[in-house]
């Protein structure tokens, strides 16, 4: 059971956290909405919740709730650049299919 | 795979609803676009890594115009069609434009705003500006990977209504949703986080390429007020370049200066000026058209002497602004430097001496206005928590619209801070529906009849489609003045309609409190009536669809027994729709669904068969 960050993603998250000036880590999650079932959420964390599960990856704390973990266990979060656009990408081994744009997915 | 950005806790956007917002500094000489990604505010660069876009538009035959660096290069050999500094003409008649005679343009005097004749036709300053904005918009969309929610665009604090309206129109023409126009000095103050203090008086000293503006801002209870502005619309970095070029001509004893020489010297002068920011001397070497070679060294000291009077020319308006505000330098809590020309060391030290304090310089002075605008845009688009808000003016009651069955769908919730903009997608209820009536309501209750009606308007010209296929985006926008405008647009055809209303009009605090109280006491009943109405709408839709299918294929695909059983289930549902047992309606809907399952499967088979047997597609759909 684990969620990891690529080295590149960890560096960016650390930089964003430093710039933000507060926050204890990064929250990955899943919620049910979107055109193909489920969608990822990616947020800064100011306060951990009692039920949270924590992982450490390249020095960054990653939190998720147990319900989300079932859907994203084994995920590696990467930071990539595509042309002018840049951002985070979920490499989730549990995914069976995604909607055309990849913003939501099915298991 | 779409790329994600990190959101503030609890503010992740739903898929396809990213609130992408940008800030645009639409400058006289250069323009920039910035955004906030994963909490980081940054200027968006073009493919070549350049942050600035020269505010220059060159009109061509037929094709779309060149904007930016390419256009700037052609400025001197195609002067009539290459528009620079169009910002000076925004919202202005010919007689209001100072120095119009000195420009190369062929002006056409039109009522309201001057027009420019180009080879692509007569253009208004609004159109020219929109070309610049279009380039910034597509740059931002490429960088953010999606459609923009809205933009904050900055304007000089002294812009009047006509100039502001012209700027808004240019943005609309460029396909941008303007969340708000923001005063440039206020944007600079926001970029420096001065809004985090509770009170204070600040001076924004903005020396750009060709203009100088000074503003005194007062922050009180989180709201910035422009107390005084002053400036010189014909003073900027270009004047410093000219001084250096003139010095080089004199030092080199150049007898006759060709036009190309003058341009070359100006660009070398500019480079020397930039070198002197970090060095004590700069070398200027040039081969002139006459064959003469120039090789000069300009010391920082000489440069400062050459341009001391230009700096004095900025301090005079600064003094006037302070006097207008009734303040002395000791009343100023902070000084912000804006504009590329404030990188010059002697400008910084002169300002520091004048105010007897170190000016704020740690942000790039070219970018600071765009950065502040981006932060404001991020806030207005709803990417920050409400408690991060400054300009605390809230919507007293939710705003929404009527959906099928007399239900109120809330689009902007109560207590949302204004200005605010929200959009929601709706669709058609019936096959071939070509118009939609939009009823704007205010209140917390679930049924429209319990809410207050604000306005009604119609969206017409929706292309005929099957029910549920049309995508109608209804946008609610409440501006800083509390003015609500609602617009509806069918996305595939682009037809749209708009209405403006003043929502708080005529409601006293007591009435608002009463409406709120009602919504609490009736919460349970409201939810029940919502369930009932939703079930009725679903049932009605089911009957419509079944009837349409029966009319089309019933005789062909159903036996009499099957047909009668479907009709019976429909009739049962129809009767229950007029009663108020939503459980019964639900069950009847489900049994009608079951009764038609075989029929639906047969219809599917039949249409596949007819497609395979080589029938034309349009015949099949008809």
CB atoms within 10 A of CB B577: 18
Concatenated DSSP letters of B388-418: G-SS--B-SS-EEEEETTTEEEEEE-TTPBS
The conformation of residue A56, written as its DSSP 8-state character, comes to E
Residues in chain A: 107
B551 at the A interface (CB within 8 A)?
A: no
A interface with B, Cβ–Cβ below 8 Å: 12-13, 15-16, 19-20, 26-27, 29, 31, 33-35, 39-47, 80, 82-90, 98-99, 101-104
Classify residue A46: in a domain, yes or no. Answer: yes
Give the separation between CA B194 and CA B202, rounded to whole angstroms: 9
Helix (H, G, I), strand (E, B) or coil at B106: strand
**DSSP-derived 3-state class of residue A22:** coil
Residue with tokens 């609490």: B520
pLDDT of residue B385: 58
> Distance from B197 to chain A by nearest Cα, in Å?
17
Residue B17 CB contacts under 8 Å (≥ 6 apart), including other chains? none
- Domain of residue A79: give its range: 4-101
Task: Report the C-alpha gap between B129 and B58 in whole angstroms.
Answer: 12
Q: Do A83 and B5 touch (CB under 8 A)?
A: no
The predicted structure's pLDDT at residue B225? 76
- Answer whether residue B254 shows pLDDT above 60: yes
Nearest to A43 among B7, B14, B143 (CB): B7
CA distance B270 to B276: 10
Residues B197-211: pLDDT tens digits?
768 899 999 999 888
Helix runs in B339-463, H state only? 345-355, 368-380
For B466-520, strand residue ranges (E) read 472-478, 484-490, 496-501
- What would you report as the CA-atom Rg of chain A, rounded to the nearest whole angstrom? 14
Are B403 and B440 spatial neighbours (Cβ–Cβ below 8 Å)?
no
Q: Which residues numbered 44-73 in B keep a CB inside 8 Å of some CB on A?
A: 44-45, 47
Q: Which of A31-45, B154-168, B317-331, B605-619 has the lowest mean pLDDT?
A: B605-619
* Percent of chain B topping pLDDT 70: 89
Q: Classify the phi-psi angles of B221: left when phi > 0, otherwise alpha if psi is within -120 to 50, otherwise beta.
A: left
Specify the pairing of strand B150-155 against strand B178-183.
parallel
Residue B113 has pLDDT above 90, yes or no: no
DSSP letter (8 states) at residue B553: I
Q: Tell me whether residues B3 and A31 touch, CB distance under 8 A.
A: no
CATH number at A14 reads 2.60.300.12
Average pLDDT over residues B370-395: 70
The pLDDT value given to residue B110: 78
Is there a domain that residue A49 lies in? Answer: yes
The pLDDT value given to residue B394? 53
3-state secondary structure at position A91: strand
What lies within 8 Å, CB to CB, of B134 at 6+ separation is: B67, B174, B175
Mean pLDDT across chain B, nearest whole number? 85
CB B455 within 8 A of CB B501: yes
d(CA B288, CA B255): 11
Q: What is the average per-residue pLDDT within B447-458?
A: 82
- The pTM is what? 0.61
The two three-digit tokens of residue B558, written as one number: 């159903």
**pLDDT value, residue B150:** 92
Minimal CA–CA distance to B404: which of B451, B434, B439?
Answer: B439
Say yes or no for a CB contact (<8 Å) between A83 and B139. no
pLDDT at residue B312 in the model: 95
**Best interface-test mutation with B: which of A36, A43, A64 has the largest number of B CBs within 10 A?**
A43
Q: Which helix (H) or strand (E) holds A80?
A: strand A76-82
Please name the residues in contact with B577: beta carbons below 8 A apart, sequence gap of 6 or more. B536, B539, B540, B543, B585
Domain assignment present for A106: no
Question: Does a structural domain hold residue A107?
Answer: no
List beta partners, residue B407. Answer: B403, B447
Share of chain B above pLDDT 90, in %: 34
Residue B391 pLDDT: 42
Which residues on A lie below 8 Å from B136 (Cβ)? none
Determine the 3-state secondary structure of B468 from DSSP.
Answer: coil
Q: Which residues of B touch A16 (CB under 8 A)?
A: 6, 38-40
Q: Cα–Cα distance between B165 and B124 in angstroms, integer?
A: 13
Q: What is the number of domains present in chain A?
A: 1
CB proximity B4 to A under 8 Å? yes
Residue A70 inside a domain? The answer is yes
Q: Annotated active-site positions of B, please? A: 25, 87, 184, 206
pLDDT in tens, B258-281: 777 888 888 899 999 999 999 999
Whether residue B63 has pLDDT greater than 60: yes
**C-alpha distances out from residue B220 to A15, B156, B201, Å:** 33, 21, 9
Scanning the structure block, which residue is given the tokens 């020319």? Answer: B313
The closest of B98, B94, B67 to B174, measured between CA atoms, is: B67
In a domain, A38, yes or no: yes
B145 touches chain A (CB under 8 A): yes
How far is it, in rounded angstroms, from Cα B13 to Cα B15?
Answer: 6
Residue B387 pLDDT class (50, 70, 90 cuts): very low
Q: What is the pLDDT of residue B252?
A: 87
Q: What is the pLDDT of residue B612?
A: 64
CB A36 within 8 A of CB A98: yes
ipTM, 2 decimals?
0.76
Is residue A37 classed as helix, strand or coil in its secondary structure? coil
Query: Which residues does chain B have within 8 Å of residue A20's beta carbon, measured at their own beta carbons?
Result: 39
Q: Which has more pLDDT, B161 or B505?
A: B161
Q: Judge whether A59 lies within some domain.
A: yes
* Residue-by-residue pLDDT tens, chain A, 107 positions: 788 999 999 999 999 898 888 889 999 988 765 445 577 889 999 988 888 889 999 999 999 988 788 888 889 999 988 877 788 988 888 776 665 555 566 65
- The predicted-structure confidence for B130-149, as pLDDT tens digits, reads as follows 999 999 999 999 998 888 98
pLDDT at position A30 is 81
Q: Distance between CA atoms of B602 and B261, rounded to whole angstroms?
A: 83
Q: State residue B386's pLDDT score.
A: 46
Q: How, if at all, do strands A60-64 and A76-82 pair?
A: unpaired
**CA B410 – CA B215 distance, rounded (Å):** 41
Q: Which of B3, B11, B16 sits opposite A85 (nearest CB)?
A: B3
**Does the structure show a pLDDT above 50 at B241?**
yes
pLDDT digits over B427-436, tens only? 888 888 888 8
**How large is the average pLDDT for residues B524-538?**
79
Q: Which residues contact B603 (CB under 8 A, 6 or more apart)?
A: B549, B553, B557
Q: For B440-446, what is the mean pLDDT? A: 82
Contacts of B33 (CB under 8 A, 6+ apart): B22, B23, B24, B25, B43, B44, B53, B136, B137, B139, B140, B370
Query: Best interface-test mutation with B: which of A41, A46, A89, A100 has the largest number of B CBs within 10 A?
Result: A41
Question: pLDDT tens across B569-615, in order?
Answer: 899 999 888 888 888 888 888 888 888 888 888 888 887 777 666 55
Closest CA to B321 of B146, B160, B203: B203
In this predicted structure, what is the pLDDT of residue B298?
A: 95
- Write down the pLDDT at residue B425: 86
DSSP assignment of B226-281 = EEEEEEETT-SHHHHHHHHHHHHHHHTT-S---HHHHHHHHHHHHHHHHHHHH-SE
């Amino acid at each position: 059971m684990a969620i990891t960050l690529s080295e590149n993603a960890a560096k960016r998250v650390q930089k964003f956290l430093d710039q933000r000036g507060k926050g204890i880590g990064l929250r990955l999650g899943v919620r049910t909405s979107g055109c193909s079932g489920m969608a990822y959420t990616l947020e800064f964390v100011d306060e951990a919740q009692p039920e949270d599960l924590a992982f450490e990856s390249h020095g960054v704390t990653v939190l998720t709730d147990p319900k989300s973990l079932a859907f994203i266990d084994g995920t590696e979060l990467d930071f990539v650049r595509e042309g002018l656009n840049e951002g985070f990408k979920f490499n989730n081994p549990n995914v069976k299919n995604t909607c055309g744009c990849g913003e939501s997915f099915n298991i | 795979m779409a790329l994600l950005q990190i959101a503030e806790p609890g503010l992740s956007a739903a898929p396809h609803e990213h609130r992408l917002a940008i800030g645009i500094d639409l400058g006289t000489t250069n323009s920039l676009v910035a955004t906030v990604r994963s909490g980081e505010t940054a200027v968006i660069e073009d493919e070549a890594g350049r942050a600035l876009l020269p505010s220059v538009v060159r009109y061509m035959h037929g094709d779309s115009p060149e904007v930016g660096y390419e256009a700037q290069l052609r400025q001197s050999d195609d002067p009539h069609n290459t528009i620079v500094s169009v910002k000076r003409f925004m919202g202005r008649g010919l007689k209001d434009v100072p120095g119009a005679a000195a420009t190369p343009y062929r002006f056409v005097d039109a009522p309201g705003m001057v027009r420019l004749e180009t080879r692509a036709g007569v253009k208004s300053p609004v159109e020219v500006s929109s070309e610049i904005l279009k380039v910034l918009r597509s740059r931002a969309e490429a960088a953010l990977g999606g459609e923009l929610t809205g933009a904050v665009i900055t304007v000089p604090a002294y812009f009047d209504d006509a100039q502001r309206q012209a700027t808004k129109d240019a943005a609309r023409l460029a396909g941008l949703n303007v969340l708000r126009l923001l005063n440039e000095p206020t944007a600079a103050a926001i970029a420096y986080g001065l809004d985090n203090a509770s009170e204070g008086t600040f001076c924004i000293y903005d020396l750009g390429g060709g203009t100088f503006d000074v503003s005194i801002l007062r922050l009180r209870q989180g709201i910035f007020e422009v107390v005084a502005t002053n400036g010189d619309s014909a003073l900027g970095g270009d004047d410093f370049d000219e001084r250096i070029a003139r010095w080089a001509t004199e030092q080199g004893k150049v007898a006759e200066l060709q036009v190309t020489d003058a341009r070359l010297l100006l660009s070398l002068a500019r480079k020397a000026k930039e070198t002197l920011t970090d060095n004590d001397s700069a070398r200027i070497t040039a081969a002139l058209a006459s064959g003469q070679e120039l090789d000069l060294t300009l010391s920082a000291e000489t440069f400062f002497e050459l341009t001391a009077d230009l700096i004095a020319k900025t301090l005079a308006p600064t003094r006037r602004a302070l006097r207008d505000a009734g303040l002395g330098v000791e009343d100023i809590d902070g000084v912000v430097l804006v504009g590329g020309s404030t990188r010059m060391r002697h400008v910084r030290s002169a300002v520091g001496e004048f105010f007897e304090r170190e000016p704020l310089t740690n942000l790039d002075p070219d970018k600071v206005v765009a950065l502040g605008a981006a932060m404001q845009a991020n806030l207005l688009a709803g990417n920050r928590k409400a408690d991060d808000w400054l300009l605390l003016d809230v919507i007293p009651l939710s705003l929404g619209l009527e959906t099928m069955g007399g239900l109120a769908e809330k689009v902007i919730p109560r207590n949302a801070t204004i200005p605010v903009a929200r959009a929601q997608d709706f669709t058609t209820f019936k096959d071939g529906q070509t118009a939609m009536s939009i009823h704007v309501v205010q209140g917390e209750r679930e049924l429209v009849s319990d809410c207050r009606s604000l306005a009604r308007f119609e969206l017409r010209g929706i292309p005929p489609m099957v029910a549920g296929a049309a995508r109608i985006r209804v946008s609610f926008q409440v501006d800083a003045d509390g003015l609500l405008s609602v617009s509806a647009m069918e996305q595939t055809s682009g037809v749209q309609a708009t209405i403006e209303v003043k929502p708080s009009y005529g409601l006293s605090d007591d009435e608002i409190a009463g409406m709120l109280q009602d919504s609490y006491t009736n919460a349970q009943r409201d939810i029940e009536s919502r369930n009932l109405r939703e079930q009725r709408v679903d049932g009605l839709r089911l009957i419509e669809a079944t009837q349409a299918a029966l009319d089309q294929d019933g005789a062909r695909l159903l036996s009499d027994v099957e047909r009668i059983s479907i009709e019976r289930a429909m009739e049962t549902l129809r009767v229950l729709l007029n009663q108020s047992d939503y459980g019964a309606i639900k069950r009847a809907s489900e049994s009608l669904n079951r009764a038609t399952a075989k029929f639906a499967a047969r219809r599917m088979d039949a249409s596949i068969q007819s497609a395979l047997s080589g029938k034309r597609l349009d015949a099949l759909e008809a």
